[in-house]
Structure 1
Amino acid sequence: MARIEDLAESFGRHIATPWQRTVAGAQRVVMVVYDKELERTLRARKLAFETATREAGHDWREIDLADAFAEWMAAADYRDEYFASPEDLQLKLEAEFPAFIADRVRAVLRSHHVTENTVVAILGAGSLFGLARISQVLRIIEGDIKGRLIVFFPGHFERNNYRLLDARDGWNYLAVPITAHNE
């Protein structure tokens, strides 16, 4: 699949440009947007993005959110009741899950290994669909971004609007989009 390699090449060109140190946290986010069908391919070739980052002289850290819901649910006191009556889970999801995700990402962002020269990459954003909005999580953590935060985003970007998995109304965000089609 040349599309992921093309995306990695575009990403590499972007990440190699000198970084402004005075930009706001929201402007330190880079959304790598790809077709949802390419999720497994991207995961298999994510090393291309790490390599491009390291060749540009930056450090690389990553966090995978694919298991976040399972981890959060396993820790819930009333998990068995929620499985019996899933509609009761909605309020807890809205009130607590975005903060849980933010805390997981924040733990990496605040790690002593992460500096102003570090790229922190988020994988598994698609697994949040229907559970938490990425835009909400990004708003919570944007003040903690020291270097750059890369979000691998299975969906579409069009007219400054991001749509996760092509299914939800999008949101407008200040992040830099990297797309296979250079939109």
Structure 2
Amino acid sequence: MGRIEELAARYRGHIGAPWQRNLAGDQKAIFVVYPKSDERKLRQRIELFEMATTSTGHNWRLLDATGIFARWMADTEYRDIYFEEPETLAMKLRSDFVQYAASCLRQVLTSASTDEDTVVAVQGVACFYGFTRVSLILKEVIKDIRGRLVVFFPGEYEDKNYRLLDAREDWNYLAVPITLHNGVNDYEKP
């Protein structure tokens, strides 16, 4: 069994367990952590996670975050100036882009077809690298999670810390990690 298939099996074990309904938003988040070199393989096999979700009686919604920055930049009034002087974009990234990315995710989280039995899955978060942190976007939408939020996270997880693309400074987050570490199902740990 390949790494992606093993992650999907571990994910199914977790998502198929009875869901607690009274959790805080960040406790409803699940990070499927995989080596950054497996990004294309994961995208090709994303249906394994969808099938695991629907086979356990839950709904599935997928958001591909890959094009979010490009769409935001295309709609930005002074984009030509930012291309000429990229350092002037820093403040706008910290505020406007985080809000834009959060609103894209919030639209899926709060749509009429998303309920307490829906998994909203997000792929393509590597596109945020260099522009913002995944943690800043999640902080904006945490109260909007109805069912579960699954983030496909190319990077590392160790000692409750996540590192996007194995490069960014790590950050602590309460999400449930699903990893391949040491052959142990991390989500079964206390």
Which interval holds the TM-score relative to the shorter structure?
Answer: over 0.9
Is residue 128 of structure 2 the alignment partner of residue 128 of structure 1?
yes
Taking the aligned partners of 1:110 and 1:23, their CA distance within structure 2 comes to 17
How far apart are 1:146 and its partner, in Å?
Answer: 0.2
In structure 2, the residue matched to 1:70 is 70
In structure 2, the residue matched to 1:25 is 25
- State the Cα deviation string for residues 3-60 of structure 1 (Å, max 9, x = none): 0000000000000000000000000000000000000000000000000000010000
User: What amino acid is aligned across from residue 175 of structure 1 in structure 2?
Assistant: A
Is residue 163 of structure 2 the alignment partner of residue 178 of structure 1?
no
How far apart are 1:91 and its partner, in Å?
Answer: 1.0
- TM-score (structure 1 length as normaliser): 0.98
Does the aligned pair in 2 maintain the 1:65–1:122 contact within 8 Å? yes
In structure 2, the residue matched to 1:38 is 38
User: What amino acid is aligned across from residue 62 of structure 2 in structure 1?
Assistant: E
SS at the partner of 1:62?
strand
Taking the aligned partners of 2:95 and 2:50, their CA distance within structure 1 comes to 34
User: What amino acid is aligned across from residue 52 of structure 2 in structure 1?
Assistant: A
In structure 2, the residue matched to 1:100 is 100
TM-align CA RMSD: 0.9
User: What amino acid is aligned across from residue 97 of structure 1 in structure 2?
Assistant: F
Name the stretch that deviates more: 33-42 or 88-97: 88-97
User: What amino acid is aligned across from residue 83 of structure 1 in structure 2?
Assistant: F
Does the aligned pair in 2 maintain the 1:7–1:180 contact within 8 Å? yes
How far apart are 1:151 and its partner, in Å?
Answer: 0.1
Taking the aligned partners of 2:81 and 2:140, their CA distance within structure 1 comes to 29
In structure 2, the residue matched to 1:84 is 84
In structure 1, the residue matched to 2:116 is 116
SS at the partner of 2:119?
strand
Identity of aligned residues (%): 51
Q: In the comparison of the two structures, how many residue pairs are matched?
A: 183
Task: Find runs of 4+ consecutive structure 1 residues off by over 6 angstroms.
Answer: none
Taking the aligned partners of 2:96 and 2:60, their CA distance within structure 1 comes to 29
- TM-score (structure 2 length as normaliser): 0.95
